[in-house]
Structure 1
Amino acid sequence: MDLELKKELPSYDEQQDFYTKLRAKITNYVDSKSNKMGKFTPYLLFAPDFFHLLIKSMLDDRIDSKSKTLIGSGILYFITPIDILPEGLVGPGGFIDDIIVAAFIVNMLLNKFSPEIVEEHWAGEDKLLNTLKKVSETGDTVLGKLPARSLLGRFIKTSKKA
């Protein structure tokens, strides 16, 4: 199966602009919640970094098409307005589920490819492996609070068994 984009990807400057705007939006949200910061609020800043990593990985010729299908699924989960915690309803806090899905995909990539290939696309301030560890440690807590029949819960539980 040959995957082909019907529309040209945004320019590098447009991609950087989106990344900068998303990071600023989430930073403002986190700053506004500083007095009543929830347990997961610090993790929200990982959202633009994971999104950036997925986009850049999708464009990397060293990554095979089967892996790119998984990466594309993660990108779609980020941009689709319908998910477990929709950003349109809960604001930037809705990125928690997107972060968990992205972390799962990045873990799969790290198991298949050299860490240097994946880390090359990481724009976060903390090391990628440290970030994944933090997300993994809190991911089970988040999943425990979601309804048992949720799509995300099933997705993560199924993938852990594999």
Structure 2
Amino acid sequence: MDDEASERNVSERRRDFYESIRQELEQWMRGAGDDHEYERYILLAPDLFYLLDRLSREDDLPPEHEADVDAALSYFMSSMDIVPEGIVGPPGYVDDIAVSAHVVRRLLESVDADVVRRNWSGDEDLEEVVENILEFARYSMGTDTWEQVKRDFDSDA
């Protein structure tokens, strides 16, 4: 398979994954997700995934940060993470959202923040969203677990 075909395959899988998140959350919101205590954060999952996907194709993202973005995308798409969606449903996106916010914060602090912001499609201020998610991660996962997830992710990325 040539590089172009491989890249197209990755893009298609990511688009399919993005669509599956959106559909899953729409269904969840019609049932158990309505008024769920984590609803506000879980609903950010597709936007964060889309941001990471766009950043992975961003020409102005310095190459030394590409591995972090790709690792966060892989973590998002993995069925085996600390809170697996396949077992707990959409609340399982809590760790994926937190890891994504962790990577985005590092990017905002270490590259031209406008490069990151211009790829954000959400309605809210990106920096505020990221900080709220990171605070939520400490609350929802517990400080010790969240710190361990960050250490594990940082050592793998």
TM-score normalised to structure 1 length: 0.78
The structure with the largest helix share of the pair is 2
Give the Å deviation of 1:128. Answer: 1.2
Change (3 A) 1:18 1:71: same
Report the AA paired with residue 150 of structure 2: I
SS at match of 1:8: helix
Indicate conservation of the 8 Å contact 1:30/1:42, yes or no: no
What corresponds to 1:94 in structure 2?
92
Matching residue of 1:29: 28
Matched, 1:137 2:131: no
Residues 11 and 144 of structure 1, relative CA distance in 2, 3 Å threshold:
closer
Match of residue 38 from structure 2: 40
1:156 aligns with 2:150: yes
Task: Give RMSD over aligned pairs.
Answer: 2.8
Consecutive unaligned residues of structure 2, counting only runs of 5 or more, are none
Percent of pairs identical after alignment? 26
Report how many aligned residue pairs link the two structures. Answer: 151
Match in the other structure for 1:49: 47
Question: In the aligned structure 2, how far is the partner of 1:107 from the partner of 1:86?
Answer: 23
TM-score, normalised via structure 2 length: 0.80
Pair 1:124–1:103, CA change in 2 (3 A) = same
Question: Which ranges in structure 1 are unaligned for 5 or more consecutive residues?
Answer: none
